[in-house]
Chains A and B, each alone.
Chain A
Amino acid sequence: MSPQIPEGTWVGEIEASLAWLLSHTPRFLGIIFVRVDTGGGFILIEYGRPAGFFFRMGDRVLQGAAAREFFEGQQFMYASLCRYTEEEFQEALAAAGPEALVPDAREGIPEPGQVSAPVTAQIPGEERTPETVLDRIFHSPGVTAVAIFRKGSIVDSRGETFLEDLVEPAEGILLSAWEILALLPTGPLVQITLRFFGRNVTIAPFQDGYLLVLTEPEVNIGQIRKLVHDAGEIGTA
């Protein structure tokens, strides 16, 4: 069940990244209700300090640092800002519960001038376009297929055509990884490799999405790691 959060007073809507939202709310006390393709949630803001994060996707719930990590991975979110009184804010903190709250999450928040505009995607380096990265990985020994996926869909792929079927469980695995990331002092996600008999499946952050790589069993984990690192920049999840 989602927390019963006060609605507050609606002040506006915008499509923006988390970084942009956090850098432009220094005088805001309230809640940002966010929506992405896969679900929705909220961010509690106390005059520029993000105080709590919550996200629900179906039966899965991310809270606190894990939800923040998830929001940071979104290129942009549909955000609805609602102002709170001090009393409403305290009520919202209590309703959100301790698992949603983050102690002091100002670290790493850019100044307003550092984030140019909402709805602005990161522009990849020309030498590392998704196309060149996919080609480079696909032509490596032992690779049978590779795709870039984002928000539940394949953006581009090479090789076998059934990769679309793997996106949904791959995103479920990533949700679990974010939960683990919030529990352990792990640092950012580098990659996840599933070794089945006869097939390896690797998922790795790439720009604003993820790489999904299928390799033959004789390719070992060190080779996969090198392959993904050499082929393109690895983002942080």
Chain B
Amino acid sequence: MVVADLMPFLKYDGVLAVLLVKDGSVLEKAGSPGADTEALAASLSLLMNESGMIADRLNNQSIPMIFLEFEMRLLLIQALDDDRFMTIITRADANIGQISYRLKKMKTGSGT
């Protein structure tokens, strides 16, 4: 996956940035995250580890999609393969149904 794969998400209204992260580091990014992306990637990776613990305790091995909602921002995090995950940073009023649908399609490899 390269930057070109992330760009389509920026077309959706309210999407500010897209990051592709692995092992606490940013592999690719597009848009303007408005933050230190390396620090953000480290925090997001810890969050993914903790969500893996929840999955274990639920005896659920599926790959999660995480919605981190703040009053002014929404972060959608989709685990991919090889411990990579994609994070989409949006305004709070973005159409998350549309974006999460596209993310899900990307994960299953049926569309980008």
- Interface flags for B89-104 (1: CB within 8 Å of A; 0: not) read 1001000110010000
Q: Which of A12-20, A39-47, A161-169 contacts B (4 or more CB under 8 A)?
A: A161-169
User: Contact at B54–A192, with CB atoms within 8 Å?
Assistant: no
Say whether, besides A184-B35, A196-B60, A197-B60, A170 and B71 are in contact (CB < 8 Å): no
- Interface flags for B37-77 (1: CB within 8 Å of A; 0: not) read 00110011011011101110110101011111111110100
What is the interface residue range for chain B against chain A? Answer: 35 or more
Q: Tell me how many residue pairs across A and B have CB atoms closer than 8 Å.
A: 109
Set A168, A180, A185: member contacting B75, Cβ < 8 A: A180
Set A168, A183, A222: member contacting B36, Cβ < 8 A: A183
User: Contact at B89–A169, with CB atoms within 8 Å?
Assistant: no
User: Contact at B47–A173, with CB atoms within 8 Å?
Assistant: yes
With a cutoff of 8 Å between Cβ atoms, the chain B residues found around residue A168 in the complex are 53
With a cutoff of 8 Å between Cβ atoms, the chain A residues found around residue B34 in the complex are 184-185
Chain B interface (Cβ < 8 Å from any Cβ of A): 33-36, 39-40, 43-44, 46-47, 49-51, 53-55, 57-58, 60, 62, 64-73, 75, 89, 92, 96-97, 100
Chain A interface (Cβ < 8 Å from any Cβ of B): 60, 162, 165-166, 168-170, 172-173, 175-177, 179-181, 183-199, 201, 220-222, 225
